[in-house]
Chain A
Amino acid sequence: TESPLDLGDRRLGLTIDDSDPRRFVMYVDNEEIPLIQEFLYYKSMVGDNSKDYKRASGAYIFRPDGSPIPVCDNQKKPQRVSGPVVQEIHRECNEWVSQVIRLYNGDDNIEFEWLVGPIPNDDKIGKEVISRFRIPFYKNNQTFYTDSNGREMLKRILNYRPSFTLRENVENVTGNYYPITSRISLTDQQTRFSVLNDRSQGGSSLQDGEIELMVHRRIFVDDAFGVDEALNETAFGVGLVARGHHYLTYGPVDKLFEVERLLAQRKLIRPQYFFTKKHSVVSYKDLK
């Protein structure tokens, strides 16, 4: 169906804004929280690598050229699929970016399955695609937490280093990017807002209430740090396609630690699937 575009219920769920598919109202334990989720891309810096400020973005470094540019056509209407096991909202942003937002019955997180690529190469501008989640008016005091290889959560403060005084940060975006191997979290001391990922990604919280994770990149210039190749991987004659999951959790701080720990184990160490074909159709009784 096309409407109403909602998932779940008031215990955990969300509703998409009719006029703008980037905007949601998220429901958690009867509380209403505004949420914005969108895809954007940073243009990769192109340079001749002769000076630090002329370095190109590449395999070793992420160096954006300006602010991120939204990629979604917000006129395209999302579609809703609903049934007894799962409810989904399918959203196609453009030819190379799409997403399924999903809530399984009784689950404690909202899943965002992104699919990005092949990133076009017609304009020869490198593109570094991010998924950005934002809760307006959330006060995390320029502080966020990222994990260290799935273990301890480390405190990160915008434009700050614990071991030396950062006088001037000319790389305002990159200088605040950290490796996110399993999760990134914000807290206003009462609640916690986290996004868990299924693979290591770069990410940050550049403004209060905001989490961004880089999902895919395609670049046409080498950064001259050693690999001597542009980060321009292709298959079947076009750029690569990447598909993955982000799991969004929100709730009271004391409850969320447990939710996140169990969710991370369940999603990162998933059951293994083994298939056995039956050569002739049998009943359950015979099989048993």
Chain B
Amino acid sequence: EPKITPLRETMGMMQHHDAITGTEKQHVANDYARLLSEAMEECEEASCTILSGLAAGIETSADCKTCQLLNISQCEVSEHSEQFVLTLYNPLSRPVTEFVRLPIPSETAYSVVDPSGQRLTVQFVPLPSAVLRIPGRKSSATSELVFQADDLPPLGYKSYLITKEPSSSYLNRLRAERSAQSE
């Protein structure tokens, strides 16, 4: 409860007409951003504690992170980890399919394995140069890893194991796939 209450209270404050329309003074806008950011961070801890009790791969809540800067294609975990688990929680009461986009350094290959052990089809998409120029963006990512997360269960989660591949094994696999296709 104490971890969730700050976000409840901040969301209450965000109902003020100035917060909704953006007619608050600049220093108030900055304070709103501070309050929201801090409250979300506290809530993240609570979410991770709950998930670590449920989900495979999340051993402790200390290992669990969210990436608040995905909106500028920046994420410390996906950019710098040899291997990580992405857990997607679906808050809707029906199954949904999500197209996942994770910032990664270019010239890097990744494999994505779904909860049933299936290796998923992935695509590497270069980030537009305008994204790389966003002021304040501190990221090594120049591409995005894109894959389709099918049928996330209602009010449930699925975890995906994402592993950076040595470039030689990636190229060998790519060659094998291409030769199989041409045959």
Binding site for B on A (CB under 8 A): 59-60, 81, 83-86, 88, 90, 92, 98, 100, 104-105, 107, 115, 118, 225-229, 231, 233, 235-238, 241, 243, 265-266, 269-278, 281-282, 284-285, 287-288
The residue in chain B whose Cβ has the minimal distance to the Cβ of A239 is B135
Are the CB atoms of B23 and A88 closer together than 8 Å?
no
Across the interface, A272 reaches (CB within 8 A) one of B81, B88, B117, namely B88
Question: In the assembled complex, how far is the CB of residue B135 from the closest CB belonging to chain A, in whole angstroms?
Answer: 4
The answer on a CB contact under 8 Å between B134 and A273 is: no
Distance in angstroms from B109 CB to nearest chain A CB is: 13
Which residues of chain B from 83 to 141 have any CB-CB distance to chain A below 8 Å in the complex?
83-92, 96, 98-100, 113, 117, 121-126, 128-131, 134-136
Report the minimum CB–CB distance from B43 to chain A (whole Å).
10
Contact of B148 with A275 in the complex, beta carbons under 8 Å: no
Q: Which of A98, A237, A274, A288 has the most CB of B within 10 A?
A: A274
Closest to B76 in A: A275
Query: Given contacts A235-B135, A241-B135, is CB(A287)–CB(B56) below 8 Å?
Result: yes
Residue of B nearest to A228 (CB): B25
B123 near A278 (CB under 8 angstroms)? Answer: no
Inter-subunit contact B99/A275 (CB<8 Å): no
A275, B65: Cβ atoms closer than 8 Å:
yes
Query: A81-B125, A85-B123, A233-B29 are known contacts. Are A227 and B88 too (CB-CB below 8 A)?
Result: no
**Pairs across A and B, CB under 8 Å, 19 listed:** A83-B123, A83-B125, A84-B121, A85-B122, A92-B130, A269-B92, A271-B91, A271-B98, A272-B88, A273-B67, A273-B100, A274-B48, A274-B86, A275-B78, A276-B63, A277-B65, A278-B83, A278-B85, A287-B57
Residues of B within 8 A of A282 (CB): 83
Contacts of B19 in A (CB 8 A): none
Contact check, A85 vs B117: say whether CB atoms are below 8 A apart: no
- For residue B176, CB closer than 8 A to chain A, the reply is no
Q: Tell me the complex Cα distance, A284–B125, Å.
A: 25
Q: How far is the CB of A202 from chain B (nearest CB, A)?
A: 11
Docked pose: A90 CA to B83 CA in angstroms: 30
Measured CB to CB, the nearest residue on chain A to B24 is: A227
B32 at the A/B interface (Cβ < 8 Å)? Answer: no
CB neighbours (8 Å) of B100 from chain A are 273
Mostly, the B contact residues are mixed
The 9 closest A-B pairs by CB, nearest first: A83-B123, A98-B130, A275-B77, A236-B135, A85-B123, A278-B83, A274-B87, A271-B88, A276-B85
What residues of B have a CB within 8 angstroms of the CB of A104 in the complex?
99, 148
Q: Are A274 and B89 neighbours in the complex by a CB distance under 8 Å? A: yes
Task: Determine the chain A residues whose CB is within 8 A of the CB of B98 once the complex forms.
Answer: 266, 270-271
* Chain B residues, CB < 8 A from A105: 148
With the chains together, A285 CA to B129 CA distance in Å?
39
Task: Produce 1/0 per residue, B48-70, CB < 8 A to A.
Answer: 10010001111100011111001
In the assembled complex, how far is the CB of residue A116 from the closest CB belonging to chain B, in whole angstroms? 9
- The residue in B83, B89, B90 that gathers the most chain A C-beta atoms within 10 A of its C-beta is B83
Chain B nearest CB, measured from A209 CB (Å): 29
Instruction: Return the chain B residue nearest A242 by Cβ.
Output: B71
B contact residues around A225 at 8 Å (CB)? 23
In the complex, the answer to whether B135 meets A287 with C-beta atoms within 8 Å is no
How long is the Cα–Cα vector from A278 to B85 in the complex, in angstroms?
Answer: 7
A275 touching B64, Cβ below 8 Å: yes
Closest to A230 in B: B26
Residue of B nearest to A237 (CB): B135
Measured in the bound complex, the distance between the Cα atoms of B51 and A48 in whole Å is: 56
The one of A85, A98, A236 in contact with B128, judged by C-beta atoms closer than 8 angstroms, is A98
Contacts of B31 in A (CB 8 A): none
Cα separation A156 to B114 with both chains bound (whole Å): 46
In the complex, chain B residues whose CB is within 8 Å of the CB of A227:
23-25
Bound CA–CA A60/B18 (angstroms): 10
A239 nearest CB across to chain B (Å): 9
Identify A288's interface contact among B56, B70, B123, CB under 8 A. Answer: B56
Question: Which residue on chain A has the smallest CB distance to residue B63?
Answer: A276
B residues within 8 A CB of A229?
25-26
Taking the closest CB of chain B, its distance from the CB of A59, in whole angstroms, is 5
Within the assembled complex, what's the spacing in Å between the Cα atoms of A241 and B128?
Answer: 14
Nearest residue (CB) in A for B80 is A277
Complex contacts, A100 vs chain B, CB 8 Å: 128
Do the beta carbons of A277 and B128 come within 8 Å of each other? no
